[in-house]
Amino acid sequence: MTDKKNAPPPLREASTVILVREKNKALEIYLLRRSKKSGFMGGLYVFPGGVVDPEDLGLAHWAPHIDMPPDQIEKQLGANTFSTEDALGFSIAAIRETLEEAGVFIASGKGKTQKDIDDICTYRLNRDLPKSWFRTKMMSQNWTLSFSSLGRWSHWITPKLMKKRFDTRFFLVFMPENQTCVPDNRETKHGIWLTPQNALERNLEAKIPLSPPAVVTLTQLLKFNNLNELKREIQTRSWGDPISPRLVPSSNGPVILEPWDPMCDKDCDIDTSDFSKKVLPPGSQFSRIWCDKGVWKPVGV
């Protein structure tokens, strides 16, 4: 019989969007600082995202407001690994959360103008919006959500020892033209565009403290030099195996072991006494991330 007191928190489905643009011939990624009051990753810089809500589901209602047919949704966004309904929920949540948190609307509509887009981006800042506001707006104003703009990137599962756990799909989206990122100033307090290299450097300097998945993702993005390279990657990229790290508590700061770490599957402690000497520079291959006074830093084995 499972001990309910020691059972890990239930997994909640969630979506995250890696917003990418090219500026001065360099790739930049948009990062948002979560409110310090947040119960998950508080005070850290993350990509826009959040949980899948019940209103994000219901293919019959959403189908007329999506730019691809249902069978294409499962093929392209589910990658034939999960159902059309699940692919729908993750994708709607990705677009909705990017609008709510970053003020970027991944959508279009017949006869819609730039003012219509600006109005939606302003409306989402209203206080006390009902849970159904996004669904209501999309259907009453006949918007078409741009599922074709969503690229598969990765699949993360939060470590069992964390207080909140998520089964999260990381999508990659190229920043829409003529739009500007604006944090909601509630869940997110500050937004910034940075190259992956600069973001990783500023993380180590404790100036832009990143979440552990952001450290891994930005390191992955270092290999791409421009948007064309990234577009080619997205055309064939699968979700890949779920990235399910292990969290190891330590008096010197907790450690996250990625699945490719030799100790990830072993239920044992990790000696962190010399980790301050093992911190790795940006671009290094790593399998461990150590929380040093609130800053997650890649360390060598």
Average the pLDDT over 90-103 and give the result: 97
Q: What is the pLDDT of residue 1?
A: 43
φ/ψ (deg, to 5) at 104: -115, 125
Q: What is the pLDDT of residue 101?
A: 95
User: pLDDT digit string (tens) for 46-88?
Assistant: 999 999 999 999 999 999 999 999 989 988 998 878 889 999 9
Q: Which distant-in-sequence residues (6+ apart) come within 8 Å of 239 by Cβ?
A: 79, 81, 152, 154, 155, 169
Supply the mean pLDDT for the chain: 93
pLDDT above 90 coverage of the chain, percent: 83
Q: What is the pLDDT of residue 81?
A: 84
Angle at 60 between CA 57 and CA 61, to 5 degrees: 70
Q: What is the pLDDT of residue 2?
A: 46
Domain architecture of the chain: domains with CATH: 11-238 (3.90.79.10), 245-301 (no CATH)
3-state secondary structure of 259: coil
Q: What is the dihedral of CA 127, 121, 56, 37, to 10 degrees?
A: -50
Instruction: Give the orientation angle of helix 196-204 with respect to helix 212-221, to 10 degrees.
Output: 140
Q: What is the pLDDT of residue 85?
A: 94
Q: What is the DSSP letter of 56?
A: G
Q: Which amino acid is at 239?
A: W
Cβ atoms of 263 and 289 within 8 Å: the answer is no
Cβ atoms of 88 and 57 within 8 Å: the answer is yes
User: pLDDT digit string (tens) for 244-271?
Assistant: 999 999 999 999 999 999 999 998 889 9
Q: What is the pLDDT of residue 92?
A: 98
- Per the listing, tokens 């003020």 go with 103
Q: What is the pLDDT of residue 188?
A: 86
The helix (H) or strand (E) run that includes residue 292 is strand 288-292
Report CA 278 to chain centroid distance, whole Å: 27
Report CA 283 to chain centroid distance, whole Å: 20
pLDDT of 300 above 90: yes
Its pTM stands at 0.94
- Per the listing, tokens 């006494």 go with 273
User: pLDDT digit string (tens) for 149-184?
Assistant: 999 999 999 999 888 899 999 999 999 999 999 998
Pairwise pLDDT comparison (164 vs 201), residue with the higher score = 201
Q: What is the pLDDT of residue 67?
A: 96
Cα-Cα end-to-end distance for the chain: 36
Q: What is the pLDDT of residue 7?
A: 80
